[in-house]
Structure 1
Amino acid sequence: MDRKGYIFFITVSLFLVFFSMCLSLAVGEVRIPLPEVARMLLYKIGLTSSMTGAFGVYDTILLFVRLPRTLMVFFVGSVLGVTGAVYQGLLLNPLAESYTLGVASGAALGATIAIAFNVNLVRPFAFLGGILTLLGVWSLSHRSRSVDPTRLILSGVVVGSILQALMMLLQTLFPEKLGAFFFWIMGSFGSASWKWLPGCLIASCIALLFTLLHRELDLISLGEGKAETLGMSIVRMRWVLLCTASLITSVVVSYCGVIGFVGLIVPHLLRMLVGHSHSRLLFASWIGGGLMLLWADMAARAIGSLPVGVLTALVGGPIFCLFLWRS
């Protein structure tokens, strides 16, 4: 794709994001006409001086339920899309993402422990669980001065399986809290509110800053030998980028629970459209991840408050199987 084609693609994608957000504000148990959504948004940003129609009926639903949820869904999706592309570029493995490395499972386990023992620090525990999991996986895969990406992936899969087993154990020991556990294991935006939005926004902005490091990611993708020949300390750079990606993943998981396959599918889809260069892929993944999760959340709400992680797994799994079969 040439430069003009890429600019056209990004322009269309941003328009789709805006349209999807408006549609997300209209979809739910209470259907709100799109003209009412548009009038409310124009009124709130000061482009109109008065409100007519059914604004008084829909005001609370739009401003205090759907708008924070819609923004939160996009920010979480953008983080998952970018971190998936970063993990795959760093580890030279198309299966790499936060869930393959066990980071998301560690964050979910941290939240589960806090819920089980009535500790009112669910999100800090989730964040701590994700970071400790990355440290454990890194320690298992670290040999001498280098880290083998294949060992890192295998370590993440094994550690993630152990953490999943621990979560199952907690569900068995605390059956009265199965509902709260289910939220973290399957992923949901049912508790979205304005007070959780700043954390997701900051994580999304950090994810967007990865686009400034596209040259380093391109060099790492060439292979460890070539990157070191060009003067890059690949071990240090890989460690810094992995820590940062895992940190922001732990942040968003602490707000919405485990949502799989977004970070796995979005970069693969977009490589077919924008190419393998991280200068284009990372920003496209930021938009694409948010867009994919917006539609998944709308579909989950339309079906009837279904956990969004169920839909991403049902849709993402077959798509990824198709990629494997075709390649």
Structure 2
Amino acid sequence: MSKKSYLFFVMASLLVTLVSICISLSVGEVRIPIKEVVSAVFSKATILFSTDYETSSEVYSAILLFVRLPRTLIAFLVGSILGASGAVYQGLLLNPLAESYTLGVASGAALGATLAIAFNFSLIRLFAFLGGILTLFGVWALSHRSRSVDPTRLILSGVVVSSILQALMMLLQTLFPEKLGAFFFWVMGSFNSASWKWLPGCLLGSCVALLFLLLHRELDLVSLGEGKAETLGVDIVRVRWILLCVASFITSLAVSYCGVIGFVGLIVPHLFRMIVGHSHKRLLFASWIGGGLILLWADIAARALGSLPVGVLTILIGGPIFCVLLFKSS
């Protein structure tokens, strides 16, 4: 892709993002006309400080500010985290199937939250975050040999650990059936409880994901293979460990808020690699904004269909898309 084409892609992506946000603010149990959305967003009304909503415009503004807007922003930010992290995982491990879920990080975070719910611990998000990080350390330890780590061994270890963690989650669901509803939230992923309180953490994770761009050169060199990367002066073990840790940190952070949402980190890098090419300087941004858009539209569809868990839709839509991509690549 030429520089002009890539610039056009960036501008078009930003425009599509703005349009998608407006549509997202309009869709839900209460359908709000786009005209009212624009009016509420750009009005100077003091609706944030009001408790008496008399007109339909004031009701719309309250719904937008307290329900739709935080949910929309958080869906985009979480998607950007998952998309960029997926691109980093695939670039580091030289494997198109690598993502936080195949490495067990997301399952570890979900198990941490499930344990906290089962035993009535209050710090659910902290347990989810720690669960993801500890899982990464465990998978790394299983695949570590002397100073190097074999990417294939790392992924296989992640798949095995993820399967064990999912079995433990099912065991907890069996032992604590009265908390099945709360467990369901973490297993399937949802933005139904999204609020402004979630925004700082999700914004932090998304900004960190965007900072992966600073290491695009290292990722490009790692993608050439260990031998060539080390010849060109890259400490591949150090780069791989640092980026895996950071990607796992922000993925665990995302899961701690919205639960497990699959296929975004797997599909998005594949899809946008076909559009912008293999250069991580372009791919990381494309995966960041593309992940946000795809998850935002999945959430829009989930609301339009009656508040379905967004994780269900990402799997139902992502699975066939991935099969098509595999068929085309073959």
Q: Same fold (TM over 0.5)?
A: yes
State the Cα RMSD in Å: 1.3
**1:15-52 C-alpha deviation (Å, 9 max, x unpaired):** 11110001000000000000110011112599xxxxx9
Shift of 1:232: 1.2
TM-score in terms of structure 1 length: 0.97
Change (3 A) 1:25 1:44: farther
Instruction: Tell me the residue number matched to 1:49.
Output: none
Shift of 1:153: 0.5
Distance 2:126 2:170 in 1: 21
Distance 1:65 1:124 in 2: 24
8 Å CA contact 1:23, 1:34 repeated in 2: yes
Distance 1:54 1:287 in 2: 34
Distance 2:108 2:59 in 1: 42
Instruction: Tell me the residue number matched to 1:157.
Output: 159
Shift of 1:231: 1.4
Secondary structure of 1:306's partner? coil
Partner amino acid, structure 2, of 1:254? S
Aligned residues: 322
Instruction: Tell me the residue number matched to 2:18.
Output: 18
Query: Alignment identity in percent?
Result: 77
Distance 2:55 2:152 in 1: 59
Instruction: Tell me the residue number matched to 1:268.
Output: 270
Distance 2:320 2:9 in 1: 25
Instruction: Tell me the residue number matched to 1:295.
Output: 297
Instruction: Tell me the residue number matched to 2:308.
Output: 306
Partner amino acid, structure 2, of 1:223? G
Change (3 A) 1:45 1:53: closer
Structure 2 stretches lacking a partner, 5+ long: 47-53
Instruction: Tell me the residue number matched to 1:174.
Output: 176
TM-score in terms of structure 2 length: 0.96
Secondary structure of 1:128's partner? helix
Matches within 5 A, 1:248-287: 248-287=250-289
Instruction: Tell me the residue number matched to 2:142.
Output: 140
Instruction: Tell me the residue number matched to 2:234.
Output: 232
Partner amino acid, structure 2, of 1:204? S
Distance 1:57 1:297 in 2: 22
**1:108-133 C-alpha deviation (Å, 9 max, x unpaired):** 00000000000001000000000000
Structure 1 stretches lacking a partner, 5+ long: 47-51
Q: 1:206 aligns with which of 205, 208, 233?
A: 208
Partner amino acid, structure 1, of 2:6? Y
Shift of 1:54: 3.2
